[in-house]
Amino acid sequence: MKFEAVTIKDIAKALGLSTSTVSRALRDSYEISPETKKVVLEYAEKINYHPNPIALSLKERRSRSIGVIVSEIANSFFSQAIDGIESIAYKNGYNVIISQSRESFDRESIHLQYLTSRSIDGLIISVAAETKDFSHFKELHERGMPLVFFDRIINEIDTYKVIVDNYQGAYDATRYLIENGFKRIAALANNEILSITRDRLAGYKAALTDHGIKTDDSFIKYCEHGGLRLEEVEQAVTELVSAETRPDAILALGDKLTTGSLRILKAKKIEVPGDIGLIGFSNSETSELIEPPLSIIKQPAFEMGEIATDLLIQLIESKRPVTSFETKKLAPQIIIRESAKNKNKSMLNVEF
């Protein structure tokens, strides 16, 4: 099976010209006479010539492709972000190679290795939950590979980063719960090492403190793989609801944790928000259709992907080394629905 492409040589031979002349004619060089250009252009059009991007990559030492590593494609947040990445990349003539870490450090390392050996021009990364050692990223960064982190970032590496205001999102969600009568608010977090975990928990704790509620460490549960495995969510939720003092609300700090905990609560026949209120980070397209309609903290995923890609391309195409980087922080959107409605008032809403 082969797919023969026409080359510049074919044109040169057919027209009795040299390849250099053809090349220059195609690039509209001033050194070529208008007549020759016309002939070449018309013939190229006729035989449907397209420059071989691989030959160009070899010559220019750039592949015009960028790598992306996320934990999981089939996750609304990431698929929306990839959507944004693709759109900008495409506009700029880059293509995108996607890999999934599935929250595993090993898979992340392997993909990183693979992508860089495929000679990509830059990399957009959301770190895996398992990853505690950042040296592979650091080394790459030091060797000059353009890098942009989004969502889950690495503070120690100085480059562009794109995140939402995780602190504020968690703070506002927690405050909402407090102001609506919830008092014993538990947090269901991702892996402790992740930037998003730290920031979101900080917001959660600050909101509690600001409202005179003592933070209780037994109310904070961590899921090593961010809820990618339902068992870890089950264990965390089970521990929470079977404690002596059971929380009356859960703040879930990740997409999979939000739907996962609802899944578990339903399985345990625990009413939401009657028995336990629920609000969480989520970009699910169907959050409003869910029973009860989910209260969510939503990230502008598409936009984050766009911005990250814009920054990466800037980095790739800049003539001189970039030394001053910034962290773009976007505002999350909080959407309140039934799952976090006022405990007492909500009794009135139940349809008897």
Partner DNA sequence: TTTTTTTACGCAATCGTTCCCGGTAACCCC
Partner DNA sequence: GGGGTTACCGGGAACGATTGCGTAAAAAAA
Binding span for DNA by CB under 7 A among 47-55, 88-96, 142-150, 221-229: 47-55
Q: Are strands 277-281 and 295-298 parallel, antiparallel or unpaired?
A: parallel
Q: What, of DNA, a copy of itself, none, does residue 21 touch, CB below 5 to 8 Å by kind?
A: DNA
Burial of 273 (C-beta count, 10 Å sphere; 0-12/13-18/19+): buried
Cis bond before residue 273 (omega within 30° of 0): yes
State the nearest-atom distance from the C-beta of 56 to DNA, in Å.
5
Alpha carbons 61 and 84: distance in angstroms, whole number: 26
Does 113 interact with DNA (rule: CB under 7 A)?
no
Helices (H), 96-245: 105-117, 135-142, 166-179, 195-210, 230-241
Contact 128, 107 (CB under 8 A): yes
Longest dimension (CA), the chain: 89
Can you give the C-alpha Rg of the chain in angstroms? 26
Which residue from 280, 271, 282 is spatially nearest to 246, judged by alpha carbons? 271
**Quick one: 62 or 211, whose CB is closer to DNA?**
62
Q: Is 279 helix (H, G, I), strand (E, B) or coil?
A: strand
Instruction: Give how far Cα 16 sits from Cα of 6, 24, 28, 36, Å.
Output: 16, 15, 18, 11
Q: Which residue ranges make up the site for a copy of itself (CB under 8 A)?
A: 1-5, 50, 52-55, 57-58, 61, 63, 65, 72-76, 79-80, 82-83, 86, 90, 95-100, 114, 117-119, 143-146, 259, 262-263, 266, 284-286, 288-293, 315-316, 318, 321-322, 352
177 secondary structure, DSSP code: H
| Shortest distance (Å) from residue 146 CB to a copy of itself | 5
- For residue 8, the partner it binds in a copy of itself, DNA, none, with Cβ less than 5 to 8 A by kind, is DNA
Count of residues near DNA by CB under 7 A: 30
Between residues 289 and 347, which has the closer beta carbon with respect to a copy of itself?
Answer: 289
In this chain, which stretch among 30-38, 203-211, 242-250, 290-298 interacts with DNA, using CB under 7 A?
30-38
Examine residue 144 and tell whether it contacts DNA (CB under 7 A).
no
Q: Which does 9 bind (CB under 5 to 8 A by kind): DNA, a copy of itself, none?
A: DNA
Dihedral of alpha carbons 170, 171, 172, 174, sign: positive
- Candidate ranges 28-36, 247-255, 331-339, 340-348; the one touching DNA (CB under 7 A): 28-36
For a copy of itself, the closer of residues 2 and 214 by Cβ is 2
What letter would DSSP give residue 90?
H
Q: Which of 13, 38, 56, 318 binds DNA (CB under 7 A)?
A: 56
Q: How far apart are CA 116 and CA 3, in angstroms?
A: 27
For residue 331, the minimal CB distance to DNA (Å) is: 43
Minimum distance from residue 48 beta carbon to DNA (Å)? 12
Q: Which does 36 bind (CB under 5 to 8 A by kind): a copy of itself, DNA, none?
A: DNA
From 33-41, 94-102, 141-149, 271-279, span contacting DNA (CB under 7 A): 33-41
DSSP assignment of 24-39, as one string?
A: HHHTT-TTS-HHHHHH
Judged by the rule CB under 7 A, the positions of this chain that interact with DNA are: 5, 7-9, 16-21, 23-24, 26-27, 30-36, 49-52, 55-56, 58-59, 61
